[in-house]
Chains A and B, each alone.
Chain A
Amino acid sequence: MSKITEVKELVEAGKSKKIGAAVQEALDAGGQPAEILQAMVDSMSVVGDKFSAGEIFVPEMLIAAKAMSKGVDVLRPLMTGDNAASLGTCVIGTVAGDLHDIGKNLVSMMIESAGFTMVDLGVDVPAKKFVEAARENDNVTLIACSGLLTTTMPALKEAVATIKASGLSDCKVIVGGAPVTPEFAAEIGADGYAADAGSAAVKAKELVK
């Protein structure tokens, strides 16, 4: 088995304790950082698909994301200035009036694993803060807004409307959360919708390419 294949398998299995050494071995064997990173991104894509298909559950997805993050830590010093695998920056947050973060955090991990740099605004985020963050950070290509409660669906609508009215024409907006449907996402003017964290990563890539 090649060292890069080993890295891929360790990410999929969520072996965060072993991944650092495996990435280092792949580098020592002549692997290029961008190639190793892409292998990990591919692994996370497999993980996302398995999650969406109900073959694995949240813990398995979380530990895979954790393993990838540990692997990226080894690569990061070697990749300064190399934006080959970057899909830009994604600003993410749970909308105003909603303190739930589990869904938002999962989506954040999966979108990061797909190749985005994440700016996480946390929970209870006012609409204008999404716009400010998109202006303050470089190369923001995506804004992701989450809402768990039916009571905060109006806040989701307001967030999308505020972003769209701000003139941030290069940013796509993706929304999601338990009460959100594709119809609601379309009705409030979002560019994309995802039902779960795995498909959010797929949709995120699709929107910015």
Chain B
Amino acid sequence: MNQRENFFAMIEGKKPEFIPNIMELYKICVGGADCADQPTMGGIDVFGVNWILTKEGEMPEPNKFLFDDIADWKEYVSFPDVNTLGIEQAAKMELEGVNRDEVIINVYSPTGLFERLAAFMGFENTLCSLVEDPDSCREFFEAFADYKIACMNRFIDAYQPDVITYLDDLATANGLFMSPKVYREVIKPAHQRIVEAVTSRGVIFCQHTCGKCEKIIEDYVEMGAKIWSSAQISNDLEGIMKKYQGQLIVEGGWDSSGPASYIGASTEEVVTETIRCAKQYGKYGNFILFPTLLNENGNSLFVGDSRLGSMIEAWHRVEKLA
């Protein structure tokens, strides 16, 4: 099996021939998101939020908010016309020379419902609003979901992707930002519409949520997500892999807060972590390795790293499915 065939075997709940590493599995496309969601090189986005480029990626300029009171959101938020975003041109550039028979096309859609509200009004205001004015939050999320769905449809038309990865970080290292009840009552209804918009067109939905979010994994599966990324070890990954075998692929496993992810981690530390992931998670068969390796220039996924060769070699060397 090639990467593509092996991946679809996993999605269908069959035993794969090998356990993939995202670095070899996906063609990750971010051009559409650059137009529609957040500028990958920083700057003002289509909503007027200024993004600051850091080595780990971009983030909204701290303490500069469009509004403070969620009840006022309509005065400050105007949705762009998706026809003008340039998604088609971005797709054309990104897909040039890509062998679709081999790799999986994975289109990233960052700044999900919660993150977008936080980009507009900051985390503290957003979190307070979820419990103090849930009605206005719900109204905002529904309106923003309409925009997201329009973008998802354009992504699907332009990229013909296999997977769309929707990114919304709802958790800290210790647990969810908000209670599962608040997530379910205030965010989930609009979230569900986004998932359905993607899956109804035959595209695989990958939910990205960092941190300890295991309390709502059931919700993700129930809505139709087939992959959960970037699954961090603060969650019970093995328990989740066992419970959702045949239903959900866990993409992650790397100890992103551990020694292998520190600046200056040795090649040996990186290899040791790779082997741990292979031995601990590979046997379940519904796992994709998502290594997080950082160096002085940023995330190795985007800037490269001299340790990657050894890491990939170690990954191939270890028997994983046995």
Bound CA span A102–B172, Å: 10
Cβ contact within 8 Å between A62 and B256: no
Cβ contact within 8 Å between B262 and A58: no
Interface residues of B in 250-292 (CB under 8 A from A): 256-257, 261-264
Cβ contact within 8 Å between A150 and B52: no
Cβ contact within 8 Å between A54 and B175: yes
- Identify B178's interface contact among A58, A97, A151, A196, CB under 8 A: A58
Cβ contact within 8 Å between B128 and A63: yes
Query: Does B176 reach chain A (CB closer than 8 Å)?
Result: yes
Contact with B along A121-153 (1 / 0, CB 8 A): 011000000000000000000000000011101
How many chain B residues touch the partner (CB < 8 A)? 30
Cβ contact within 8 Å between A62 and B175: no
Determine the residue in chain B with the shortest Cβ distance to A99: B62
Bound CA span A122–B63, Å: 9
Query: Does B54 reach chain A (CB closer than 8 Å)?
Result: yes
Q: Point out the residues of chain A lying under 8 angstroms from B294, CB to CB.
A: 149-151
Determine the residue in chain B with the shortest Cβ distance to A105: B124
Query: Does B100 reach chain A (CB closer than 8 Å)?
Result: no
Q: How far is the CB of A39 from chain B (nearest CB, A)?
A: 23
Q: How far is the CB of A51 from chain B (nearest CB, A)?
A: 9
Bound CA span A63–B174, Å: 19
Cβ contact within 8 Å between A178 and B52: no
Query: Does A8 reach chain B (CB closer than 8 Å)?
Result: no
Query: Does A9 reach chain B (CB closer than 8 Å)?
Result: no
Cβ contact within 8 Å between A150 and B63: no
User: With A62-B128, A101-B62, A178-B257 given, is the CB distance from A150 to B263 under 8 Å?
Assistant: yes
Q: Point out the residues of chain A lying under 8 angstroms from B256, CB to CB.
A: 150
Bound CA span A150–B173, Å: 13
Q: Point out the residues of chain A lying under 8 angstroms from B68, CB to CB.
A: none
Bound CA span A54–B261, Å: 27
Q: Point out the residues of chain A lying under 8 angstroms from B173, CB to CB.
A: 178
Q: Point out the residues of chain A lying under 8 angstroms from B123, CB to CB.
A: 102, 105
Bound CA span A180–B201, Å: 43
Bound CA span A100–B123, Å: 10
Bound CA span A196–B59, Å: 22
Determine the residue in chain A with the shortest Cβ distance to B264: A154
Query: Does A59 reach chain B (CB closer than 8 Å)?
Result: yes
Cβ contact within 8 Å between B128 and A153: no
User: With A122-B62, A150-B257 given, is the CB distance from A59 to B175 under 8 Å?
Assistant: no
Query: Does B77 reach chain A (CB closer than 8 Å)?
Result: no
Interface residues of B in 151-186 (CB under 8 A from A): 172-179, 182
Bound CA span A154–B264, Å: 10
Q: Point out the residues of chain A lying under 8 angstroms from B263, CB to CB.
A: 150-151, 153-154
Query: Does B56 reach chain A (CB closer than 8 Å)?
Result: yes
Q: How far is the CB of A157 from chain B (nearest CB, A)?
A: 11
Contact with B along A183-205 (1 / 0, CB 8 A): 00000000000011000000000
Q: Point out the residues of chain A lying under 8 angstroms from B131, CB to CB.
A: 14, 59-60, 63
Q: How far is the CB of A202 from chain B (nearest CB, A)?
A: 15
Cβ contact within 8 Å between B124 and A62: yes
Contact with A along B122-133 (1 / 0, CB 8 A): 011001101110
Q: Point out the residues of chain B lying under 8 angstroms from A101, CB to CB.
A: 62-63
Cβ contact within 8 Å between B257 and A151: no
Cβ contact within 8 Å between A123 and B179: no
Bound CA span A179–B178, Å: 21
Query: Does B55 reach chain A (CB closer than 8 Å)?
Result: yes
- Identify B130's interface contact among A59, A99, A151, A196, CB under 8 A: A59
Most chain-B CB neighbours within 10 Å: which of A14, A56, A178?
Answer: A178
Bound CA span A154–B294, Å: 13
Bound CA span A99–B52, Å: 9
Cβ contact within 8 Å between B56 and A151: yes
Q: How far is the CB of A97 from chain B (nearest CB, A)?
A: 8
Determine the residue in chain B with the shortest Cβ distance to A153: B262
Bound CA span A110–B175, Å: 18
Q: Point out the residues of chain B lying under 8 angstroms from A153, CB to CB.
A: 262-263
Q: List 16 A-B contacts (CB under 8 A).
A: A54-B175, A56-B179, A58-B127, A59-B130, A59-B178, A59-B179, A59-B182, A60-B131, A62-B128, A101-B62, A102-B124, A122-B62, A150-B257, A150-B261, A150-B263, A178-B172
Apart from the given pairs A58-B178, A154-B264, 4 other A-B contacts in the complex at a CB distance below 8 Å? A56-B179, A63-B131, A99-B59, A122-B62
Residues of B within 8 A of A (CB): 52, 54-56, 59, 62-63, 123-124, 127-128, 130-132, 172-179, 182, 256-257, 261-264, 294
